[in-house]
Amino acid sequence: MNPDGFSLMNLGYAASSDIDLEDTESDERYSFQLYHHVASPAEFHDHEVLEVGCGRGGGAYFIKKYLNPKSMVGLDLAGRAVKLCKEKYGTDGLDFINGDAEALPFLDNSFDIVINVESAFHYPSRDDFFREVKRVLRKDGYFLYADVEIRNEVESLDNSILEAGFTLLKREVINDNVIKACDLDSIRRKRIIDSSCHPLFRFLAYNIPAVPDSRAYNKIKSGEIQYLCYALKKSENELLKNKNLIL
């Protein structure tokens, strides 16, 4: 699939009310709203922020424009994606670099916030990624994380995050919001795929943005796959695992 019709490659989030966006951004409203929801537990103003797995760059652009951090860095393993991000979005206070999520090219204690949206399930070792996030975060820094996991593996994922050295502030299962976004944005997503993908491969490509009735869509709708949203803080003390904060 040619992803030129997408500036963000995530499934989106539909809420009871929409956020304000410019008209030129409204086509990808639900994908921007996922970033808004994941970012909402933290104050970004005047902080230094890293996005790991920035992809097409639209999420980092949204954060810099609407949440006003002091600086925003997007990191991605794909050099071509980083080049495109620089060309489209690079500006003062917003930079993109090539790098590995499991060996982040930054000194210890470099960032106030690290965000990762719908990317880490691709990594060879999420445990290594979590340890790297803790390393580059400053004391009391936020790790804001959205990911998918098979339902019977969720507890293992929770434990991996806590064992890496984070305090859990909140964990939500947002399948309903994600499925609603997929439904509301289905015509646009299907149109982009149909116009750019060979007919023989469309049924596979429909899984990427979870077009309704695709395999990915059905697994999220049934709950077989859980879409999880975490708010975490770097912990220097005894780990806190508060089940009351798991929604």
Q: What is the pLDDT of residues 97-146, one digit of tens each?
A: 999 999 999 999 999 999 999 999 999 999 999 999 999 999 999 999 99
Q: What is the CATH number of the domain that holds 162?
A: 3.40.50.150
On whether residue 214 sits in a domain, the answer given is: no
What average pLDDT does this structure show over 136-163?
Answer: 97
On whether residue 208 sits in a domain, the answer given is: no
Query: What are the structure tokens assigned to 204, written together?
Result: 């596979």
Any idea which residue has 């869509």 for tokens? 217
On whether residue 217 sits in a domain, the answer given is: no
Number of structural domains, the chain? Answer: 1
What average pLDDT does this structure show over 32-40?
Answer: 98
Question: Which residues form the domain of 99?
Answer: 3-176+228-236
Instruction: Provide the pLDDT for residue 237.
Output: 65
- Contacts of 243-246 with C-beta under 8 Å, sequence gap 24+, read 245/168, 245/169, 245/170, 245/171, 246/158, 246/168, 246/171
Q: For residue 75, give the nearest of 49, 106, 47, 52 by alpha carbon.
A: 52
On whether residue 123 sits in a domain, the answer given is: yes
On whether residue 124 sits in a domain, the answer given is: yes
**Rounded Cα–Cα distance for residues 181 and 32 (Å):** 11
DSSP string of 168-233?
A: EEEEEE-HHHHHHHHHHTHHHHHHHHHHHS-GGGHHHHTTTTT-TTSHHHHHHHHTSEEEEEEEEE
**Residue 2 reports pLDDT greater than 60:** no
**Rounded Cα–Cα distance for residues 230 and 158 (Å):** 10
Q: Is 108 exposed, middle or buried (0-12, 13-18, 19+ CB in 10 A)?
A: exposed
On whether residue 162 sits in a domain, the answer given is: yes
On whether residue 16 sits in a domain, the answer given is: yes
Q: What SS3 state is found at 166?
A: strand
Q: For residue 150, give the nearest of 187, 178, 175, 183 by alpha carbon.
A: 175
**Rounded Cα–Cα distance for residues 218 and 179 (Å):** 9
For residue 16, give the DSSP letter: S
pTM, two decimal places: 0.91
On whether residue 207 sits in a domain, the answer given is: no
